[in-house]
A = this chain, B = another copy of it.
């Protein structure tokens, strides 16, 4: 897939086709070669063949690179929930969304994932930013579910289940030892959480 991001940045794309994707690729390459800390914004812009000002039009600061998939992820989630079959229940729609997240997680991203998590874990400000990104994703899913006629608080609860499943699937996927694809891990996590919801509701 990945067509969404390209069409989305139409204005920019006229001047710098795929600037965002080129930035991500350049950044991941440089992080792998010389480490996140030793990589400057200027180096990333150069490697991507962009001016510094074009870079900053896409990425407000270097640390935001750690969350660069967020926009595409949100869009993939909203699209998947919106296009789930008419008769699909809320958790089916959410499962389709979490699986669709696999579009964003490439092999390059996987290679950088352990380092990315360590950087965030060491910095309270980045943890705050990550927490807000997760909350925004939950809010976007909640809205998409409401548009399918799901009422509150079921919409919020289903969205939180989706965010938990995403976190669980990402955590396994980021493990270099784990070779399973993101889609498989997403289905596994959603299945586990759905069964947990059943048991919780029964056991109180």
Contacts and interface: CB of A to CB of B under 8 A. Distances in A.
Interface of A: 88-92, 124-125, 127-129, 131-132, 134-135, 153-154, 156-158, 160-161, 164, 168, 189, 192-194, 196-204
A156 B135 CA distance: 15
Given A89-B203, A92-B204, A160-B160, A168 B153 contact: yes
Contact of A201 (B88, B124, B194): B194
Contacts of A154: 196, 199-200
Contacts of A135: 127, 131, 134
A182 B61 CA distance: 42
10 contacts: A90-B200, A90-B204, A91-B203, A92-B204, A124-B132, A127-B132, A132-B132, A156-B164, A194-B201, A197-B197
Nearest to A95: B204
Copies of this protein, total: 2
A48 to B, nearest CB: 27
Contacts of A204: 88-92, 194
A201 to B, nearest CB: 4
Contacts of A164: 153, 156-157, 160
A153 B171 CA distance: 13
Contacts of A90: 200, 203-204
Nearest to A202: B198
Nearest to A156: B164
Contacts of A124: 132
Contacts of A198: 201-202
